[in-house]
Amino acid sequence: MKTVSIITVNYNQYQVNIDFLNSIKLHSSNNQLEVIFVDNGSKIEYENAYREIYPDLVYIRSNKNLGFAGGNNLGIKIASGDYLLLLNNDTEITPNLIDSLVEELDRNPSIGLISPLILFYDQPSTIQYAGYTKMNYLTGRNKDIGGMETNTGQYDAENRETAYCHGAAMMCRKSTLERVGLLSEDYFLYYEELDWCEKFKRAGLKLWFLGKAKIYHKESISVGKESAIKTYFMTRNRMLFIRRNTGFLNTAFFSIYFVFIAATKQIIGFLLKGKVDLAKWTLRALAWNFTHNKNSKELGFKI
């Protein structure tokens, strides 16, 4: 029997974690499960409460917030499973999700990383993710496939390559990481899963979408919309992603576009809405890229 290690990272979200663990417990797998819970510097620990739901929980505590990549890497390093399933703690799974992903990886050895169909938890008939289009490296933009469409089963039969997997739910073989490596901790938050996908592609492996497997995602519970932390890291890491994954000429053209068009438009928009603080965080994010090399880490965030 194959073993699947589910890895999830938490930061101060007690009730969300309770719901997550109940979901895992409810929708068991035919494969043997190892559930690894990484507490990423939360102010209060609830290990005993989590173990009441899932007694075999593998609980790891980090005294500081290591970000999405750092937290997941802690779990990956101790995982004993043949397969690793990285799941956001703000997701709830469905029956046969785990087994369907494992079966697809077994069927197609060329797949390196696979994600399921993702639906919004609060609007369960609305699609968040059914794959991604290719990245335009000159603008640092791509599009989600199926985003905000009403789910009528139109993607249930789809089993195909995608440009990127989704960080809320992605599975790989543990053995593959000997070739690919861990998630890059240089990002702290946002874009790290896209960077990881680029590593899989450079290793000659495919990224895959499986429509018959589904999860529900409670989007933006951690940081909210138009928050300082989201504005800063989305801006900073969009530029960092291009710097790390394209050549000098592409980076130069992207930087001109991003600084003088995309970011300038964003700053003006914030100022018109009276959100001066968010305009300042956008400027700080741009400045970071011109004062740090592309492998500089930034753990934590201070307002």
- DSSP conformation letters of the chain: --EEEEEEEESS-HHHHHHHHHHHHHS--SSEEEEEEEEES-SS--HHHHHHH-TT-EEEEESS--HHHHHHHHHHHH---SEEEEE-TTEEE-TTHHHHHHHHHHH-TTEEEEEEEEEESSSTTBEEES-BPPPBTTTTB--BSSTT-B-SSTTTT-EEE-S---TTEEEEEGGGHHHH-PPPTTSSSSSHHHHHHHHHHHTT-EEEEEEEEEEEE-TTTTT-SS-HHHHHHHHHHHHHHHHHHS-HHHHHHHHHHIIIIIHHHHHHHHHHTT-HHHHHHHHHHHHHHHHS-TT--------
Instruction: Report pLDDT for 297.
Output: 66
Instruction: Report pLDDT for 284.
Output: 98
Instruction: Report pLDDT for 7.
Output: 98
Instruction: Report pLDDT for 159.
Output: 97
Instruction: Report pLDDT for 117.
Output: 98
List the chain pLDDT tens, one digit each, 303 residues.
Answer: 789 999 999 998 899 999 999 999 999 898 999 999 999 999 898 999 999 999 999 999 999 999 999 999 999 999 999 999 999 999 999 999 999 999 999 999 999 999 999 999 999 999 999 999 999 999 999 999 999 999 999 999 999 999 999 999 999 999 999 999 999 999 999 999 999 999 999 999 999 999 999 999 998 544 457 799 999 999 999 999 999 999 999 999 999 999 999 999 999 999 999 999 999 999 999 999 999 998 876 655 554
Instruction: Report pLDDT for 221.
Output: 44
Instruction: Report pLDDT for 28.
Output: 85
